[in-house]
Structure 1
Amino acid sequence: MQTLELKIPPIVLVALFALAMWLLAQWFSPLELPQSWRLILAAVFAVTGIAVALSGVLAFRRANTTVDPRVPEQSSSLVIRGIYRYSRNPMYLGFLLLLTAWAFYLSSAAALALLPLFVWYMNRFQIAPEERHLLQKFGNEYQAYTQQVRRWL
């Protein structure tokens, strides 16, 4: 299973999940939500997701470290300020919120049901390998950070 670790860029994974969600929405009955609620929920989750993900990217840029999650060994500094005081993975959290927005827009319970699979995949094949590299590179400082801040929220 290690062959999947750090291989698929998270943005590609988000696109694949969005496609799978759309396909499931075509096959299953929609949620019984009024259109106005569906659109409001989608907008709130989308705006929040974009804001969370971008704040993570900006924090990495300010620290002059890589935002490419496939090469955690190229991290030049441990980012623990800003949004990283609340989530160790705000970019992934932002992606999850965007997928949640997409599920509400599609008005699909089947699409919502894929979200735990996204979290599992990210935890197993993206976050865990990143954490191994960061622990090796930053040692006790990273270990202390993981004790203070949760993976997602």
Structure 2
Amino acid sequence: MELVSSTIILVLCLIAFAAIHSLTASLPFKGMILRVMGPGSEKYYMLAYSLISVLTVLPLIYLLYKYPGPILYIIPSPWRWCMVGGQLIGALIGARGLLDAPHRFKIRAQLSAPKTPEAGSLNIQGIFRFIRDPFLLSGLIIIWLTPFMTVNLLVIYIFSTLYVYLGSLHVERRLVSRFGDEYREYQERVHRTIPHFKGQY
């Protein structure tokens, strides 16, 4: 009974995080921030968004620490360190994605009408020549290369995987709306989550 209760609490906590995360990433919310705070707030938005994400995920991390549930497995050395190394590579993939596509996160460009000069150009470069969504790949690597697993951690990882995958679909629909046939051609040539060097853009 305690395991079921802790799992339910963790799932509710994850849902709350996902709701806040989705709200602050939505275009209507970003538009409201620009109207209320002024155009100058755009350069601080990503920092504020990241801080909010960290603060809202901390309760979930604490609850997982306090109520991990039964252990399913613990990977022994040296394979444990191979998995940790893979997680570091995953983190680097996400960081590289941020460096190679800062223009994708400009709020005013996201809020502009599709196919207008204000919307900007697709500008495929860096890691995006080999993979469309390095952030999805980064998240999946970091999650599933954890060198230990408990019941509650597994439940949260399954729900998190579903959330980040659906989030990736939403972002792709937004990019198709913004860039039209140019992005559709990009989708045909480059995979979303598996790097494909022969299909580089």
The alignment of Structure 1 onto Structure 2 pairs a total of residues equal to 141
Residue 118 in structure 1 maps to residue 160 in structure 2: yes
Identity %: 21
Identify unmatched segments of 5+ residues in structure 2: 1-18, 26-48, 113-118, 195-201
Match of 2:75 in 1: 33
Offset at residue 22 of structure 1 (A): 3.4
Q: What does residue range 27-106 of structure 1 map to in structure 2 within 5 Å?
A: 27-42=69-84, 44-61=85-102, 65-67=103-105, 72-73=110-111, 76-101=120-145, 103-104=146-147
SS in 2 for 1:31: strand
**What do residues 50-87 of structure 1 show as CA deviations (whole Å, max 9, x unaligned)?**
210111011013xxx14379x84466331422211222
Match of 1:139 in 2: 180
Match of 1:128 in 2: 169
TM-score, with structure 1 as normaliser: 0.68
**What do residues 103-146 of structure 1 show as CA deviations (whole Å, max 9, x unaligned)?**
32xx115435644432321222x222222221122111100111
Higher RCO, Cα 8 Å, sep 6+: 1
Tell me the C-alpha RMSD between the 2 structures: 3.5
Contact 1:6 1:129 in 2 (8 A): no
Task: Output the CA distance in 1 between the equivalents of 2:187 and 2:62.
Answer: 32
Task: Output the CA distance in 2 between the equivalents of 1:50 and 1:127.
Answer: 17
Supply the AA of the counterpart residue of 1:137.
Answer: R
Supply the AA of the counterpart residue of 1:57.
Answer: L
Moved more, 81-90 or 20-29: 20-29
Task: Output the CA distance in 2 between the equivalents of 1:53 and 1:119.
Answer: 16
TM-score, with structure 2 as normaliser: 0.55
Offset at residue 21 of structure 1 (A): 9.0
